Structure 1
Amino acid sequence: MSRSSRKKELREQRDTILEKSSAGLVSFRRFLFAPNLLTFVISVVVGNAFGSAIKDLVTLAADFLLFLWRWIFTANHPLYFNATENAWNTFVTSFLTMLFIALAVYYTIQLINNRLIGSDNEKWGYDGAHQDMLMLQRLQKENNELVKKNNQLQREVLKALSSEDDGQSDK
């Protein structure tokens, strides 16, 4: 069995299971993957990691200023690199944690959108108003093309009628 046929079979099985599931399970799935809930969870998780990275950046800046202060205003100008080493370690760890959390959230959302949610309008990040406007623009473009064709046909009919009138007036 080829890989694409296995994927197709798995998707069909997934769709069959989802169709046969109870209404309560479907409503729970919609609640669990609701765009508003996912947005809230993402903001809390990524926001917390971002806040931690900013806090550690401020600590790093304060320790660096303390390092400069000691170096400039202390006798013999000693260099205390240990004063900033811990702050650098904490900041880099916090920043990498934030990046990994963001990557994990991104790929989790991709998994949810591509594998667990069947319809486009239930996917996270789906903008119904934007999709409606795209459809309206497409319909407006089709309408404009039909109006152009209609105008062309009207010109042809008028030209045919005027040439017919010219032919009858000559008689």
Structure 2
Amino acid sequence: MRFRARQSEEFQEQKERFLKKSSEGMISFRRFLFAPNLLTFVISVVVGNAFGSSVKELVSTLFHFFSAIWRWLVQPSHPINFTSTWNALSDFLTSALTLLAIALAVFYFIEFINNWLIGSEQEKWGYDEPHQDALDMQALQKQNNALVKKNIALQEEMIQLLKNGKEGK
């Protein structure tokens, strides 16, 4: 009987340690997954890729348009034909709409993260919230500006004292 009670206590302690470690691990993983720098990188890659595709399709559309105009101007018997231009324009519009859809999906995903998955207001992240490092940099810049103003005032005071000292001699 005594052996079972001891096993039960050890089992209970092990279970509590395991739960504590796993919850700490999940908190760390959540902080890593939703870190502003990681999210910024992921958003940049996803939206940047879609934007690159849209630019590529725009260039293709312009190339097909100028190619059709060139063939019409250079070859006198060639009628103007914008079929390839319309196809390229269709591809560009599809790519632009895809870019818009991806941007909207990313925006609402970030909203979902902020409103449902992140508990505290300090951990929330988004496109319009300043990062802590930027806030720290602004605070340091304000302190630096104040010190520069004090330095200028002291230098002007020193110059005035030197002038007064020379005039007194």
Pair in the same fold by TM > 0.5:
yes
In 1: Cα distance, 2:117 partner to 2:100 partner? 25
Give the Å deviation of 1:110.
0.5
In 1: Cα distance, 2:25 partner to 2:42 partner? 22
In 1: Cα distance, 2:134 partner to 2:41 partner? 21
CA contact (8 A) 1:60 1:88 kept: yes
| Cα deviations by residue, 1:45-77 (Å, 9 ceiling, x for unpaired) | 000000000011011111111011012111135
Partner of 1:95: 96
Does 1 or 2 have the higher relative contact order (CA < 8 Å, sep 6+)? 1
SS at match of 2:102: helix
Matches within 5 A, 1:104-123: 104-123=105-124
In 1: Cα distance, 2:56 partner to 2:133 partner? 38
Aligned length: 115
Partner of 1:157: none
Matches within 5 A, 1:135-146: none
SS at match of 1:113: helix
Structure 1's consecutive aligned runs of 4 or more residues displaced over 3 angstroms after TM superposition are 129-134
Matches within 5 A, 1:8-157: 22-125=23-126, 126=129, 127-128=131-132
Quote the sequence identity (%): 59
What TM-score do the two structures reach when normalised by structure 1? Answer: 0.61
In 1: Cα distance, 2:25 partner to 2:93 partner? 45
What TM-score do the two structures reach when normalised by structure 2? Answer: 0.62
SS at match of 1:22: helix
CA contact (8 A) 2:65 2:82 kept: no
In 2: Cα distance, 1:66 partner to 1:113 partner? 49
SS at match of 1:94: helix
Give the Å deviation of 1:121.
2.1
CA contact (8 A) 2:47 2:103 kept: yes
SS at match of 1:112: helix
| Cα deviations by residue, 1:126-159 (Å, 9 ceiling, x for unpaired) | 422566779xxxxxxxxxxxxxxxxxxxxxxxxx
